[in-house]
């Protein structure tokens, strides 16, 4: 069982949340490609003092603005189970990088182009099409490890530092490029090129030295994480095969040729080839994403050739989407007897709810919670089931326990709803403020804390805590404004 994560001080949380939101949005910057001069010099370490004009604080601020723009303009995959899997895999890889100990966040953008991108301070984005093309976990992990390596060497920060462009122009150009590029890679590249005045074609993409470094470090990260590094090579080969027929956005931002593939092969040690290339977790993850994106779920119910554990799981998910709860229950009950994977039983609980049998859904989730008491998707599904039955007191206790292990905005959002349902307005407003802090929306958080202080239902101890929190948050907001 995962040991609880120590609680941070409020100031640490605010800074962490700001950093996280920053990394989220700036993640697009690498994918959108920056004006990087070609150079073969050795790459400096993380936190290199030569990056004078582009500081870590600037990275965070640019990232925050970018992330908000991305969330406002692009479709993110917000499924909790999918994102939990991706972040567990990504953070496992990051823990074996030069940036181990720094916060990373991984997210998925719904886009038909094959791409992945790494932003300042560890926010890494993946397009859905790339995941659909990755046949096993090691192939997806190969891409993630590559991006983690870019972050660990601060390639993006170095690119900004050397670009010579004004921050405003660079931000506007990159935002336009990423928004267009999610739908049309060539159009996105055209926007980028037209927006960077005076740049040369050869200086647009990552330098060859950056890419070779990311490959070398990425293979080491995979090996140390216990994942077969051959997956990186295999996915490179998939990209080369597909690039012969159509443009691949990933290849515009990460130059790739047969020589690089051959070098990647040579770097994989023979002993590492015995490491596992795939997991059942990945197959469930990919199957759920496919069904989430499917525009014709009914086709899965009509196809008699779909079979096996994963195929029947997908068929059950299709039945749930089509409100055919009884069919889904029958399939999932049979699967649960064959395999105890938690995603099967989570889907079974969802099928019961679809069939308007909230008590059975609750019973299934309570049983599952005993096996996985700190697994966030199970906790949040149980909280939702309790909410349908109006058991707000139990939700509050459940979520407070989860906060000892995970300090996520989604928990505070659900906690706020439970407090509102329980008539505890002051506590609900405070929880909403806590949610906004973790999302990097500090001024919105301050507004919620002020509203909470106006409520008559908060205790004196809560009032004192809120006053102290408000004072500290106000100081941090002013520091943030002064640094702009």
- pLDDT at 388 exceeding the cut of 90: yes
Q: What is the dihedral of CA 10, 13, 18, 21, to 10 degrees?
A: -140
- Residue 211: count of CB within 10 angstroms of its CB: 20
| 416-422 average pLDDT score | 97
| 422-448 average pLDDT score | 94
CA-to-CA distance for 125 and 195, rounded, in angstroms? 23
Which CATH code for domain 390-484?
Answer: 1.25.40
- pLDDT at 331 exceeding the cut of 90: yes
- pLDDT at 227 exceeding the cut of 70: yes
- pLDDT at 218 exceeding the cut of 80: yes
pLDDT of residue 137: 98
Which pLDDT band holds residue 110 (cuts at 50, 70, 90)? very high
| 398-402 average pLDDT score | 98
* Distance, CA of 145 to chain centre: 14
CB 31 within 8 A of CB 178: yes
Which pLDDT band holds residue 10 (cuts at 50, 70, 90)? very low
Comparing CA positions, the residue from 222, 233, 93 lying closest to residue 151 is: 93
| 77-102 average pLDDT score | 95
Burial class (CB in 10 A: 0-12, 13-18, 19+), 472: middle
Q: Return the top range by mean pLDDT from 13-22, 116-125, 208-217, 369-378.
A: 369-378
Tell me the DSSP string of 260-320: HHHHHHHHS-GGGGGS----HHHHHHHHHHHHHH-S-THHHHH-TT--HHHHHHHHHHHHH
Which pLDDT band holds residue 285 (cuts at 50, 70, 90)? very high
| 137-152 average pLDDT score | 93
CA-to-CA distance for 414 and 396, rounded, in angstroms? 9
pLDDT of residue 29: 38
Among the ranges given (37-51, 141-155, 306-320), the one the predictor scored with the smallest mean pLDDT: 37-51
- pLDDT at 83 exceeding the cut of 90: yes
pLDDT of residue 176: 54
pLDDT of residue 211: 78
Burial 36-60 (b: 16+ CB within 10 A, else e): beeeeeebeeeeeeebeebeeebbb
| 322-329 average pLDDT score | 97
CA distances from 28 to 82, 123, 136, 423, 461 (A): 20, 9, 25, 41, 43
| 233-250 average pLDDT score | 69
pLDDT of residue 328: 98
- pLDDT at 156 exceeding the cut of 70: no
- Residue 425: count of CB within 10 angstroms of its CB: 17
pLDDT of residue 141: 97
- pLDDT at 143 exceeding the cut of 60: yes
Which residue is it, tokens 């407070």?
400
Task: Tell me the whole-structure pTM to 2 decimals.
Answer: 0.81
pLDDT of residue 37: 27
Quote the radius of gyration of the chain (alpha carbons, Å).
23
CA-to-CA distance for 445 and 438, rounded, in angstroms? 9
pLDDT of residue 4: 35
Largest CA distance in the chain: 69
Query: pLDDT digits over 46-68, tens only?
Result: 334 344 455 666 666 666 666 66
Report the mean per-residue pLDDT for the chain: 79
CA-to-CA distance for 436 and 219, rounded, in angstroms? 37
Left if phi > 0, otherwise alpha if psi is -120 to 50, otherwise beta: which for 343? alpha
Sheet bearing 123-127, strands edge to edge: 105-109, 123-127, 116-118
Comparing CA positions, the residue from 237, 138, 180 lying closest to residue 33 is: 180
* SS3 category, 106: strand
pLDDT of residue 66: 65
CA-to-CA distance for 183 and 322, rounded, in angstroms? 28
Comparing CA positions, the residue from 348, 310, 311 lying closest to residue 327 is: 348
- Residue 258: count of CB within 10 angstroms of its CB: 10
């Amino acid at each position: 069982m995962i040991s609880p994560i120590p609680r941070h001080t409020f100031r640490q949380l605010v800074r962490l949340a700001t950093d996280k939101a920053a990394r989220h949005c700036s993640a697009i910057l690498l994918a959108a490609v920056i004006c990087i001069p070609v150079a073969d010099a050795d790459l400096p370490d993380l936190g290199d003092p030569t990056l004078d004009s582009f500081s870590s604080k600037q990275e965070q601020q640019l990232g925050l603005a970018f992330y908000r723009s991305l969330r406002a303009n692009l479709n993110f995959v917000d499924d909790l189970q999918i994102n939990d899997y991706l972040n567990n895999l990504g953070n496992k890889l990051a823990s074996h990088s030069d940036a181990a100990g720094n916060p990373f966040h991984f997210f998925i953008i719904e886009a038909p182009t094959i791409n992945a991108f790494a932003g300042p301070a560890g926010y890494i984005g993946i397009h859905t099409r790339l995941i659909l093309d990755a046949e096993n976990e090691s192939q997806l992990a190969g891409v993630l490890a590559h991006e983690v390596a870019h972050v660990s060497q601060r390639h993006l920060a170095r690119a900004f530092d050397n670009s010579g462009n004004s921050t405003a122009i660079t931000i506007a150009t990159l935002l336009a490029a990423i928004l267009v590029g999610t739908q049309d890679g060539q159009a996105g590249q055209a926007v980028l090129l037209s927006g960077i005045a005076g740049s040369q074609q050869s200086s647009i993409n990552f330098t060859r030295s950056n890419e070779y470094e990311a490959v070398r470090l990425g293979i080491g990260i995979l090996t140390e994480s216990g994942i077969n590094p051959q997956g990186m090579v295999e996915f490179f080969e998939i990209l080369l095969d597909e690039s012969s027929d159509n443009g691949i956005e990933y290849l515009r931002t990460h130059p790739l040729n047969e020589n690089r593939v051959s070098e990647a092969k040579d770097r994989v040690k023979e002993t590492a080839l015995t490491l596992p290339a795939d997991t059942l977790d990945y197959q469930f993850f990919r199957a759920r994403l496919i069904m989430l994106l499917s525009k014709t779920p009914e086709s899965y119910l009509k196809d008699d050739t779909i079979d096996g554990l994963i195929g029947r799981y997908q068929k059950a998910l299709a039945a749930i989407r089509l409100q055919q709860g009884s069919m889904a229950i029958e399939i999932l009950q049979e699967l649960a007897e064959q395999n105890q994977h938690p995603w099967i039983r989570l889907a079974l609980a969802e099928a019961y709810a679809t069939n308007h049998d909230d008590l059975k859904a609750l019973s299934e989730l309570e049983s599952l919670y005993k096996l996985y008491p700190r697994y966030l998707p199970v906790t949040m599904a149980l909280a939702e089931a309790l909410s349908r039955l109006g058991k707000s007191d139990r939700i509050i206790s459940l979520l407070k326990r989860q906060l000892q292990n995970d300090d996520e905005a989604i928990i505070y959002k659900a906690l706020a709803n439970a407090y509102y349902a329980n008539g505890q307005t002051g506590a609900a407003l405070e929880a909403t403020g806590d949610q906004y802090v973790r999302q990097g929306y500090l001024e919105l958080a301050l507004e919620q804390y002020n509203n909470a202080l106006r409520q008559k239902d908060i205790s004196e101890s809560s009032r004192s805590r809120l006053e102290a929190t408000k004072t500290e948050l106000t100081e941090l907001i002013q520091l943030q404004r002064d640094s702009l």
